[in-house]
Amino acid sequence: MSVDPLIFMPVDRWSELKLAFKSDWPRSISGYLVLETQEFILKSGIDYGFKVYCPYGNVNNGIVALNIKNGYYEVIIQCPIDDTGELEDALRKTNIIDWRRCRVPYAPQHILDCIKRLYLEKELKIYDISTTRTFILGNEVPLYDVRLPPGLFFNRLTLDSVKLINNYWPHKYPGSEWYYQLLTKANLGFGLYKGKELIAWVFTKEMGALGHLFTVEKHRRKGYVYMPVNRWSEIKLAFKSDWPRSISGYLVLETQELISKSGIDYGFKVYCPFGNVNNGIVALNIKNGYYEVIIQCSKDDTSELEDALRKTNIIDWRRCNQVPYAPLHIVDCVERLYKAKNLKIDHISTTVTYILDNKETPYDVSLPPGFTFDLLTLDSVKLVNDNWPHKYPGSEWYYEMLTKAKLGYGLYNGEELIAWVYIKEMGALGHLYTLDKHRRKGYGELVLKLISNMFLQDKKYTVAFCSEGNSSAANLYTKLGFKLFHELHWCNRYVDVL
């Protein structure tokens, strides 16, 4: 009697298979995860008949696993090498699999090609091939900064929820309730509860990926979606469509990308109302206790933004010191929100926005003998902070952060720092300053030309805010060819900085 080419692999040999799959990362991540998750299910005391076989007993040939879920016949095929010759030969000769009953899930392209050849030879038809994309969150990514709204908690699902979950699943089939029961018994289901009411849930599927994420309809559209850095490009495109009004929204993301690439993470977080990039951003910009909420929207209709601001529990409005550089439609939105929450905006200050086009010719400028223009160093931070007229407890940390991110530049006479400018964390120029004893010598204008030339060389816009009534700064920007655009508003509340 001939031996079947698919050799049964007991659990104590799965570690060998996982090592083979790790050598083909990330293509074979599904093979690795299905074994890891099935180990977890077995340790929880559940054995529903999952079986793993190895073509000719060689772990480099991958796995063929029978995953029969209450009659739903699934054959998992994964292989960590491109050459599927031995795998295909074993699949052709085996008597373990009933090919007329089966579905093959999450197959990479080389496995799909193998299956197509096999089915053609066996005169079987593949009725449908659906395609999914794989998203992976690295295991070294910092934990999300997230808080549950009052009255909500996140916990393991219980068996009394299974019927509700199965009834909501759009792809349910005879026996699918058994499937949810299996995952729930294995502690692989988690729910978001409002009091005793289950309002949303997610499962770790038996093959290790997340699945069945669902929110009960009446609880949908309740707030913000966190936007990781790799999705900021979508938001920037939306802001570009509203140029120049949304230039601040664009620049804050561009500059925060630069700060992140420099290895600095001070906790800046971007959220998108209901996950729609056209609703703009709400960003938490907490600077050593100074609580700033950046709100930008690329369209006039702020109703969804406002609805999200009203419902969210991510923002502690009583701690919010400032909503900065807000266009008028955002100010109107914030004023309505504060009124609804019985909060008071203590003061709204106004700035005008000056922009130097990125196509302008660089300034013809040369440094006086003995002068240099260079990045600021950390030993300058105390001097810079001490001379800032708006300093507050913790503002020295702010200058230190910008300096570490290489966003501060100084004009030096020999070793003496005499003037400086920063690119603020939201992308505009700021903190342009000349020490008293060196004023009225044109150093401020010199610094502004030098920093603007750096932007022009990179084909970037140079943006500066000018407070109402600051005629000397306004005259300087005008003299250097900056164009006056829109007003922006800064909504301030007098809250103690922690």
pLDDT in tens, 333-345: 999 999 999 999 9
List C-alpha distances in Å: 368 to 361, 413, 434, 479.
Answer: 22, 9, 16, 21
Cα(113)–Cα(120) distance, integer angstroms: 11
Residue 144 in domain: no
Predicted pLDDT at 472: 87
Residue 131 in domain: no
Number of Cβ within 10 Å of residue 371's Cβ equals 14
251 with 426: CB under 8 angstroms? yes
**Rg (alpha carbons) of the chain, rounded to whole number:** 30
Cα(251)–Cα(355) distance, integer angstroms: 12
Beta-strand runs (E) in 24-67: 51-55, 63-66
Residues 215 and 243 in one domain: no
Average pLDDT over residues 15-32: 96
Helix (H, G, I), strand (E, B) or coil at 82: coil
Predicted pLDDT at 498: 42
Residues 112 and 43 in one domain: yes
Average pLDDT over residues 362-381: 96
**Residue 12 confidence class, pLDDT cut points 50, 70, 90:** very high
Cα(246)–Cα(236) distance, integer angstroms: 9
Task: Please state the domain count of the chain.
Answer: 4
Residues 237 and 337 in one domain: yes
Would you say residue 485 has pLDDT above 60? yes
Q: Determine the distance from the C-alpha atom of residue 329 to the mean position of all C-alpha atoms in its chain, rounded to a whole number.
A: 26
Residues 261 and 299 in one domain: yes
Residues 392 and 442 in one domain: yes
Average pLDDT over residues 347-372: 95
Residues 34 and 11 in one domain: yes
Percent of the chain whose predicted confidence (pLDDT) is above 70:
98
Predicted pLDDT at 222: 61
**Residue 497 confidence class, pLDDT cut points 50, 70, 90:** very low
Which of 354, 343, 431, 427 is CA-nearest to residue 385? Answer: 431
Would you say residue 162 has pLDDT above 60? yes
Average pLDDT over residues 226-248: 92
Which DSSP state fits 224? E
Beta-strand runs (E) in 255-387: 269-273, 281-287, 290-296, 322-326, 347-356, 371-375
Residue 412 in domain: yes
Cα(211)–Cα(463) distance, integer angstroms: 45
67 with 59: CB under 8 angstroms? no
Would you say residue 44 has pLDDT above 70? yes
Burial of 47 (C-beta count, 10 Å sphere; 0-12/13-18/19+): exposed
Residue with tokens 């700064």: 473
List C-alpha distances in Å: 314 to 273, 333, 446.
Answer: 12, 18, 43
Residues 310 and 417 in one domain: no
Residues 313 and 330 in one domain: yes
| Last residue of one domain, picked from the residues 192, 219, 246 | 219
Would you say residue 322 has pLDDT above 50? yes
List C-alpha distances in Å: 141 to 138, 145, 262, 282.
Answer: 6, 12, 16, 22
Strand partners, 198: 193
Which of 78, 134, 158, 29 is CA-nearest to residue 37? Answer: 29
Residue 404 in domain: yes
Cα(366)–Cα(358) distance, integer angstroms: 21
Residues 234 and 336 in one domain: yes
| Last residue of one domain, picked from the residues 162, 193, 219 | 219
CATH of the domain at 201: 3.40.630.30
Predicted pLDDT at 495: 62
Across the chain, mean pLDDT equals 93
Q: Determine the distance from the C-alpha atom of residue 129 to the mean position of all C-alpha atoms in its chain, rounded to a whole number.
A: 31
| Last residue of one domain, picked from the residues 195, 219, 243 | 219
Cα(309)–Cα(224) distance, integer angstroms: 9
What angle do helix axes 471-479 and 443-457 make, rounded to 10 degrees? 50
Average pLDDT over residues 114-135: 92
Residue 498 in domain: no
Residue 362 in domain: no
- pLDDT, tens digit, 9 for 90 and up, residues 386-443: 998 888 887 899 999 999 999 999 999 999 999 999 999 999 999 999 999 999 999 9
Cα(497)–Cα(494) distance, integer angstroms: 9
Helix (H, G, I), strand (E, B) or coil at 337: helix
Predicted pLDDT at 149: 77
Residues 99 and 177 in one domain: no
421 with 453: CB under 8 angstroms? no
Predicted pLDDT at 223: 64
Cα(413)–Cα(482) distance, integer angstroms: 27
Which residue type is seen at 185?
A: K
- pLDDT, tens digit, 9 for 90 and up, residues 239-294: 999 999 999 999 999 999 999 999 999 989 999 998 889 999 999 999 888 899 99
Which DSSP state fits 223? S
List C-alpha distances in Å: 408 to 383, 386, 390, 436.
Answer: 13, 16, 18, 19
More confident residue, 462 or 172: 462
- pLDDT, tens digit, 9 for 90 and up, residues 132-150: 989 999 998 888 877 787 7
Residues 15 and 115 in one domain: yes
Residues 102 and 22 in one domain: yes
Burial of 251 (C-beta count, 10 Å sphere; 0-12/13-18/19+): buried
**Residue 496 confidence class, pLDDT cut points 50, 70, 90:** low
**Residue 1 confidence class, pLDDT cut points 50, 70, 90:** low
360 with 456: CB under 8 angstroms? yes
Residue 290 in domain: yes
Residue 496 in domain: no
Domain range for 446: 371-460
